[in-house]
Amino acid sequence: MTTYVLVPGFWLGGWAWDEVAAPLRAAGHDVHQISPDLSPGTGVADHVGRLVGLLERLDGVVLVGHSYGGLVVTAAADRVPQRISRLVYVDSGPLPDGMSQADFDGARPSAPGGMIPVPDRAPPGATGFDWAVVRERGRPQPAATATDPVRHGGAWKAVPRTAILCSFPETRLREMAAQVPAFGLMTEGEWVYREIRTGHWPMFSEPGALAGALLH
């Protein structure tokens, strides 16, 4: 039995992993679907600290982060690398120490009341599924989670790493990593790359393929 901990990206809760978690559980594995605290004022350190608290009670974890979740799992694994058997980044990757999600995206999203609302219209990369599932079930994201810098050292680099690439293939990743420092950590050291040719939200557009990639 493997223990999977699934961390979602912006606007999402543990529900976003339902169709991925089901085949993992059917195969006999233990699955934790994380629902981050999306209260106003919550920041990156809050999400990392809460995740570390869970990981300290587990062992041999396959720690999975989607989108912004990749930032969180990197910092958490850096604090408790002995608890992690593998880091998996789903259309995401580790950001350099001191970089924020907004730095990486190159944009400062509108955040009325300190919260980033769920987009009414599907953003780029939301392909292969109906965005209404996020619009209706998602929740506004605390702005600090976009602007706070991630903090980590080098301990996480000792953990085996897999990148599940959905928005672009490995060849494109290597081209970008050679030109853009923000992508550099995604090719530094030993990685396993898997490709699912879909958009940025494969837990909705290709949940079976994503579960299969996590199982192998």
DSSP 186-207: GTSS-EEEEE--S-S-HHHH-H
Which residue is associated with the tokens 């940025």? 200
Structural contact between residues 100 and 150, judged by C-beta atoms closer than 8 angstroms: yes
Instruction: Give pLDDT tens digits for 22-72.
Output: 999 999 999 999 999 999 999 999 999 999 999 999 999 999 999 999 999
Dist. CA 94–CA 203, nearest whole Å:
20
pLDDT at 204: 98
In this predicted structure, the answer to whether residue 128 has a pLDDT above a threshold of 90 is yes
**24: enclosing H helix or E strand:** helix 18-26
Dist. CA 84–CA 62, nearest whole Å:
6
How confident is the model over 139-167, as a mean pLDDT? 97
Identify which of 137, 139, 158, 6 has the alpha carbon closest to the alpha carbon of residue 72.
6
pLDDT-derived band of residue 113, with 50, 70 and 90 as boundaries? confident
Half-sphere exposure (CA, 13 Å, Cβ side) for 163? Answer: 25
pLDDT at 193: 98
In this predicted structure, the answer to whether residue 110 has a pLDDT above a threshold of 90 is no
- Residue 109 makes CB contacts below 8 A (sequence gap 6+) with 102, 116, 143, 146
Sequence letter at residue 92:
S
Instruction: Give pLDDT tens digits for 62-101.
Output: 999 999 999 999 999 999 999 999 999 999 999 999 999 9
Structural contact between residues 125 and 196, judged by C-beta atoms closer than 8 angstroms: no
The verdict on pTM exceeding 0.85 is: yes
Structural contact between residues 43 and 148, judged by C-beta atoms closer than 8 angstroms: yes
In this predicted structure, the answer to whether residue 196 has a pLDDT above a threshold of 80 is yes
